Amino acid sequence: MSTIKTVFAPAKVNLCLHVLGKRTDGYHDLAMLMQRVTLFDRLDLELVAGGDVTASCPGLVLADGEQNIVERAARLFLAYVSMRQGVSIVVKKNIPAAAGLGGGSSDAAAVLESLDELLGTGLSRTELMGLGSRLGADVPFFLYKKTAWATGIGDQFEAWPGVPFVTLVLVNPGIEVSTVGVFRNLGLTHSRPIARIPRFPEGTSGLVRLLHNDLEVVTCQRHPVITTIKERLVAGGANGALMSGSGPTVFGLFDDYSHAVQVAQSLSAETDWWVEVVSPL
């Protein structure tokens, strides 16, 4: 049995995000269309002697101990399967942190799945997703592995066919946004039902009509640069643009790959923003 595994954890975007109301447990009921994209963190996992779990990320300071979601995922998994096993995890980050792209959650999902394979514990997808929900609201989505209409706190899924063929330009202005802070300042005045899964759009224009994010109003007020990015993408020819998650990353939808690349190169040359061209997974 191999004791080393390399995996690639994808980012996600929210094609729509509706906040339906606040729950008694402090979470919010959501309705979201979630799509994985071709931007990946790389994780190298190795089973090592002893019982210590370590996680490192060259070039990025990870939070120590229990605050590190990658380490927490490994410890949670080992406790769940009642195994004492040393694990070394090295994360090469390509997905910006605290960016609305789900990088940390995707990394945690990859750790749960990889340890299940390395240790031969044979957990079901349902069990893995249950563990994931104890780590963070987006973790179960990355274990679901499909484009999904997500409800509840983002942990109940209906498969969605996936988006029409488009190219996405991701733009991040290099600021970190607190998801907790955004939700705290949302100022919900009522709960509202959005129960229906969106109809599969015909072409890019139909997809653009789905674009919506209730969190934009809070994040854009605090960080006007997000509005500027959306305007730059649309001016460059994007069919539509939206902030992903709680931000600050914005994505623009393009029909033509070469056009998307030209816009991305232009934004990179003219600003100090992080820019990446990706496709739906």
Query: Which residue numbers are catalytic?
Result: 12, 138
- Residue 198: how many CA atoms within 13 Å on its side-chain side? 27
Spatial separation of the C-alpha atoms in residues 244 and 273, rounded to whole Å: 16
Q: In sequence order, which residues have a C-beta less than 8 Å from that of residue 73 and are 6 or more positions away?
A: 107, 108, 109, 111, 112, 131, 135, 139
Q: Please enumerate, as own/partner, the contacts of 23-28 that have beta carbons within 8 Å and a separation of 24 or more.
A: 23/153, 27/137, 27/153, 28/153, 28/183, 28/186, 28/188
Between strands 240-243 and 274-278, the pairing is unpaired
Residue reference for tokens 């269309």: 33
Cis peptide before 193 (omega within 30 of 0): no
Supply angle C-alpha 254, 261, 276, rounded to 5. Answer: 90
* Enclosing H/E stretch for 198: none
Spatial separation of the C-alpha atoms in residues 44 and 170, rounded to whole Å: 25
* Enclosing H/E stretch for 42: strand 28-48
